[in-house]
Structure 1
């Protein structure tokens, strides 16, 4: 479970940074890739990355401002040419379906895979045996959503020594016990999963927020997250500007992370006024003064999502 940023700029691209898009790699968990927002140029960024569009399973759009979705038509159209022939589901606010269908229709784009567009108003968007994805409305100039990706708890480790005493070796019976089932040992004895499984591993939580002012929904989505991706458009000296434009400062992002009990904070969506590394590092320093485990999101860098110890 890793995050990979394809764009970290706000509003418009610059020579140093592209506009918003972040990928969640789930290769070990489900051999797939999820994308959150798709600003203009995202498919070009993917070409320069280790990501594969053939693995792309879902796209989650936070809101309909151009710097978050203008890359969709091109990526959807060219995905098949990069081996992407499996179904693709795109989630986002009302109006997303019209945008995608209009651009694909007018450009006469041909899609040779199943494309599903799901417009939502928050709530549980997706759930299977491995993950659940929830969304909630944030506070922005237009409807903007944050997403909470919840990995379900994993079974504990099997006690190989106990299994050996029962004459059970690695194979199908191991799998049944891992799934919580009871099995019959070669001796004829019934062995229950609870007798040979250790404590389950707590699933990880990743929260990715769209553009927002500080608000309660952001805190709810971020509660006890292992990784929080939060916009940091401005330094706190421009807090009034941030409020007027419905954005957040680096300090406000850090305050949210601290209040929500987050483990790691990644800052993104930087105003193009911050061009140099020194200017960007001021955003990081401001956040770290409140929440020490904060860092700037850098494009084309992998950020593993560490599993927190002790979550109940």
Structure 2
């Protein structure tokens, strides 16, 4: 399963109730987690969760705009102050690496752990971060190069062929336990090989997290195997029509229509303009989504948590 914690859901600037963009995605089988974007003060938001910078395995930066990356260097420094030693992968535009390296040189920043930078353009091919987690980048459309990231968790487990063992008359207990642990056993004068009675099952969970983007349709191919799309919805369509195309953001209508066309089972919207963050603004966005999308959707708030299980079902975590 993948577990999502929204650390920032405002676009452009922080507000009293929302910080700028950051999303934590944890592998529910262990403590490994990935951070997508690190707006200013992201490390402060992390301190209000159960996430540890020691277990952070990768940071993905969607694009170079400050509301998506200005918290990165402080977070890296704090991880060093907390004696992190394990390498950390950063998938980002090459300008992010240049910025980090220049800042480190000019401010005497010392990191006691190695950074592994991957140019986001090279991440259009899947990058295996851990045995179970991989990341793939997808190009979007914005005022600067922007990307979405497929976060894919693949779980492999083995089950005994109970039917075959029962037909042979192999009794439950130690014999079954040994076979499941990969040990061959002797039964009725024959050697039963563990490999012959273990069935391998693989389950994959696929979520897409988009950066700023005014063309959701660019994610058409990526969505073919995805169960969840997390996408910016900066404006309602009425507001976007008034603001014009120059900010290069999506409206709720645009994302909802795309999600419906792709038959996506679940959708989470985030990155809301401050003008849409009060109750009326959020209701307007929700009404617009409901009109054009008939699936399971949420408007994310800071610290909202969701789980995408191994069957591809999304549910919101009740924190009370």
TM above 0.5, yes or no, is: yes
CA distance, structure 2, for counterparts of residue 108 and residue 6 of structure 1: 28
CA distance, structure 2, for counterparts of residue 301 and residue 309 of structure 1: 19
5+ long unaligned stretches in structure 1: 177-182
CA distance, structure 1, for counterparts of residue 158 and residue 238 of structure 2: 48
Q: Is the 8 A contact 1:9 1:271 kept in 2?
A: yes
Q: Are 2:143 and 1:141 equivalent residues in the alignment?
A: yes
Match for 2:299 among 281, 292, 296?
A: 296
Compared with structure 1, are the counterparts of its residues 247 and 175 closer, same or farther at alpha carbon in structure 2 (3 Å cutoff)? farther
Moved more, 233-242 or 104-113: 233-242
Match for 1:174 among 171, 175, 180?
A: 180
> Counterpart of 2:31?
31
> Counterpart of 2:226?
225
Note the C-alpha offset of 1:151.
2.2
Describe the superposition over 1:16-72 as per-residue Cα deviations: whole angstroms up to 9, x where unpaired: 1000000001141x5311000000010000111121111111000000000000001
Describe the superposition over 1:166-222 as per-residue Cα deviations: whole angstroms up to 9, x where unpaired: 352325x4144xxxxxx6332233346575537x35311010011001244322222
Instruction: After TM superposition, list the pairs within 5 Å mapping 1:1-312 onto structure 2.
Output: 1-28=2-29, 30-82=30-82, 84-121=84-121, 122-127=123-128, 129-152=131-154, 154-155=156-157, 157-160=159-162, 163=165, 165-166=169-170, 168-171=175-178, 173-176=179-182, 184-187=184-187, 188-191=190-193, 193=195, 195-197=197-199, 200-240=201-241, 241=243, 243-292=245-294, 293-308=296-311
Note the C-alpha offset of 1:116.
1.7
Tell me the TM-score normalised to structure 1 length.
Answer: 0.88
CA distance, structure 1, for counterparts of residue 4 and residue 244 of structure 2: 26
Note the C-alpha offset of 1:124.
1.7
Q: Is the 8 A contact 1:53 1:83 kept in 2?
A: no
Q: Is the 8 A contact 2:83 2:112 kept in 1?
A: no
Compared with structure 1, are the counterparts of its residues 104 and 279 closer, same or farther at alpha carbon in structure 2 (3 Å cutoff)? same
Describe the superposition over 1:99-121 as per-residue Cα deviations: whole angstroms up to 9, x where unpaired: 11112222211111112222131
3-state SS in 2 of match to 1:303: strand
CA RMSD of aligned residues (A): 2.3
3-state SS in 1 of match to 2:11: coil
3-state SS in 2 of match to 1:237: helix
Q: Is the 8 A contact 2:91 2:117 kept in 1?
A: yes
Tell me the TM-score normalised to structure 2 length.
Answer: 0.86
CA distance, structure 2, for counterparts of residue 43 and residue 89 of structure 1: 17
3-state SS in 2 of match to 1:103: helix
3-state SS in 1 of match to 2:221: helix
